[in-house]
Each structure stands twice: as structure tokens, then as C-alpha cells.
């Protein structure tokens, strides 16, 4: 993100748990007796912290970053002593609704997935019990608000080597004070479908310009790599359909690479 170093990414889960935690059986064992593999369920006690973080994709075909819940595992079959950091996709725990500002202590079911499915998570999660909910609020120091017109941009480089494609959200402050670029899922409370959505009647996509009131709050420490800020959608003010070709931008290679490095600050 221009001026505040943000990143682009898609919906996903990262578990920062040690080696060996993610597999219930080895590939050798599975290949030798594939019919013997069965899902295994463990009971985990986890604490979820009150503010979202930005997490890298660890599975899937298209690496991206998305808001995630951060916390730690207190106990499981793998945590005989001590606590292990963990991250979940915002909607990854079935039956659990995360609301910022609250610290949760949960009991969840963690079920292993087929290890031969390469582009998927190692576990699926289901809420078993909410053990406690504590309101602690979110950080407000340094918080500012800005009203912006935003739209989804597809950028292609021009020149002798026109390879590459970038998708991102470009926001222009309505008072002309700043222009910021965001990853497709970087703004908490927003998603890609707010900017382009398939229309069954026309069998095509509608593209939208959105006017939002955003809040931008510095984090006490980087929430992912060099990612220093949390951006939240506070209010949808308006939304209007725009021509599809207004979303396509051709840029010189130098400009393309500058935007790319801005959106992928690891």
C-alpha cells in the first residue's frame, strides 16, 4: 500500500505450529496402504487474540494474503508442554464468529485431511465450546479516518517483455489528499465481490466503484512482514456500476514493478 506498506492476498489459514504437526501419517505410509488412511480428530484448547493480523498463504495455487485470527494452542496431542502460536483464517473454525475487540478461549475439534490433497489445509476445524469471552478492545492510538473512492484494478505491463498481471484495489481520497493501493483482501470487512460480481441475468461481471469511510491504525509491531497498519472498512457510503474497461490499466514496466513491490512487501 502506498505510504503505509500494505500487501495483497487471498483467503487462507496459516498454522505456525512445529514440524510434524500437520500430518497424521506419512506419504510413504499412505502410498503403501492408501485404503487405510482415515481422518483423525483431536481436541484443542486455543486462545484467540482480539485484533486481526495479515497472513501469507501456505496452500493453494495462487499465493495471497488475508486477514487472520492469531492466538496459541494451550493443549493438544502435540503440545505436551508450553504453548504453540497459531493462526486461523477468519472463518476457518466452523460455528465460530470472530468479533474484534474480544479475547476468546475455545475448545475446538481439529480433524486431519487427506495428505494426498496437496492444495488444501492439513486440518479442518469445528467449534466445540466457547470457554470464555473477554472484552479488551482494540488499539486506537494513531488511528485516522479517510473517505475514499475505491475500485478494483487489473494492471498489465507494457514493453518488450509484457509478462505479469496484478489485481489490487486503488483508493483515492475524496479531498485529493492521497492515493493508496490495497491488496484484494487487505481491508478488514471487505472482499473482492464488493468490486466485481457475477450477474446471472447478463452472464457477465458487473464492476463497481465504492465510496467507503476507512480507518487506518498503526500497529504496535508488524502484523506480517513489514505490514505496519490495520485498515478497516467503517462504512459503505455508496456503490455504483462502472465500465469494465475502466478497471484495466497498462503501465510501463518500471511503474508495474513499483506497484508489485508495494503490494508484496514480505
Concatenate the DSSP letters of all residues of 79-115 into one string: -SSS-EEEEEETT-EET----TTEEEEEEEEEEE--T
SS3 145: strand
Q: Around Cβ 245, how many Cβ atoms within 10 Å?
A: 7
pLDDT of residue 122: 84
pLDDT at 139: 93
Residue 34: predicted pLDDT: 54
Percentage of the chain exceeding pLDDT 90: 47
| Side-chain half-sphere CA neighbours of 154 within 13 A | 10
CA 180 to chain centre: 18
Residue 66 has pLDDT above 70, yes or no: yes
Residue whose grid cell is 469511510: 213
pLDDT over 60 (residue 183): yes
Reference 88, options 75, 74, 71; nearest CA is 71
265-to-5, 8, 54, 90, 124 alpha-carbon distances in Å: 7, 9, 12, 22, 29
Task: Give the global pTM.
Answer: 0.76
Torsion of CA 176, 177, 179, 182, to 10 degrees: -120
Question: What integer is the mean pLDDT of 131-160?
Answer: 94
Q: 54: helix, coil or strand?
A: strand
Contact predicate 165/259, CB 8 Å: no
User: What H or E segment, with its residue span, contains residue 29?
Assistant: helix 27-32
**Scanning the structure block, which residue is given the C-alpha cell 490495520?**
230
7 vs 184: CA distance, rounded Å: 9
How does strand 123-135 pair with strand 248-252? unpaired
- Selected residue with higher pLDDT from 126 and 166: 126
Confidence at residue 225, expressed as pLDDT on a 0 to 100 scale: 63
How far is the C-alpha of 80 from the C-alpha of 74, rounded, in Å?
A: 9
Amino acid at each position: 500500500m502506498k505510504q503505509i506498506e500494505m500487501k495483497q492476498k487471498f483467503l487462507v489459514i496459516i498454522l505456525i505450529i512445529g514440524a510434524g504437526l500437520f500430518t497424521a501419517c506419512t506419504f510413504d505410509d499412505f502410498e503403501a496402504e492408501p485404503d487405510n488412511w482415515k481422518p483423525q480428530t483431536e481436541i484443542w484448547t486455543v486462545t484467540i487474540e482480539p485484533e486481526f493480523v495479515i497472513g501469507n498463504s501456505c496452500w493453494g495455487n495462487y499465493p495471497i494474503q488475508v486477514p487472520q485470527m492469531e492466538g496459541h494452542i494451550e493443549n493438544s496431542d502435540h503440545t505436551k508442554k508450553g504453548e504453540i502460536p497459531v493462526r486461523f483464517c477468519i472463518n476457518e473454525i466452523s460455528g465460530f464468529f470472530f468479533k474484534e475487540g474480544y479475547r476468546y478461549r475455545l475448545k475446538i475439534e481439529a480433524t486431519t485431511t487427506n495428505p494426498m490433497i496437496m492444495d488444501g489445509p492439513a486440518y479442518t476445524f469445528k467449534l466445540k465450546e466457547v470457554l470464555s469471552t473477554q472484552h479488551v478492545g482494540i488499539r486506537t492510538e494513531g488511528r485516522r479516518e479517510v473517505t475514499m473512492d475505491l475500485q478494483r484494478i487489473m494492471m498489465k505491463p507494457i514493453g518488450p517483455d509484457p509478462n505479469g498481471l496484478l489485481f489490487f484495489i486503488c483508493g483515492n481520497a475524496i479531498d485529493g489528499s492521497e492515493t493508496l493501493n490495497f491488496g484484494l483482501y487487505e481491508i478488514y470487512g471487505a472482499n473482492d465481490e464488493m468490486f466485481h460480481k457475477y450477474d446471472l441475468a447478463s452472464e457477465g461481471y458487473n464492476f463497481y466503484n465504492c465510496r467507503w469511510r476507512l480507518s487506518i491504525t498503526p500497529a504496535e509491531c508488524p502484523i506480517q512482514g513489514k505490514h505496519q497498519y490495520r485498515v478497516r472498512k467503517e462504512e459503505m457510503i455508496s456503490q455504483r456500476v462502472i465500465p469494465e474497461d475502466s478497471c484495466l490499466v497498462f503501465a510501463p514496466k518500471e511503474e508495474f514493478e513499483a506497484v508489485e513491490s508495494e503490494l508484496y512487501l514480505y
